[in-house]
Amino acid sequence: MAPHSINSKRCVAKFFEKHGNGNKKATVEHFAKEGVPRITIYKILQRLGKCGTFKWKVGSGHKATIMMSKKVEALCKTFNLLKYMSYHVTAQKFKCSKTLVHYTSKKSPHC
């Protein structure tokens, strides 16, 4: 059984509900004998207990951040006035990530 396949997740969930009787240790031992890593089994069981399903939720994750036009202009002014200002300091000033500062400064025609 492949450790990250959807079938292994489904099998672990079914076994836990039918034969495990809420016993994680028995479920882990059973699937460890079949070659599934213990950490994978525990993560499946953790997600099953937390969400009620072993599948990932749609839309969970980090939302994309964008800079509004006024902040982009201010960022460009900062880089035009102080040519040697670091991305780290600029990110702290604008309260965003260094990656966003770098991406915005390269994408903007004003910088």
Q: Which amino acid is at 65?
A: T
How confident is residue 1, by pLDDT bands cut at 50, 70 and 90?
A: very low
How confident is residue 3, by pLDDT bands cut at 50, 70 and 90?
A: very low
Q: Say if residue 92's pLDDT is above 70.
A: yes
User: How high is the pLDDT of residue 94?
Assistant: 87
Count of alpha carbons within 13 angstroms of residue 64, beta-carbon side = 4
User: How high is the pLDDT of residue 42?
Assistant: 86
Cα 55 to Cα 106: distance, rounded to the nearest angstrom: 38
Which of 92, 90, 70 has its CA nearest to residue 81? 90
The whole-number average pLDDT for the span 61-86 is 80
**Least confident span in 16-20, 70-74, 101-105:** 16-20
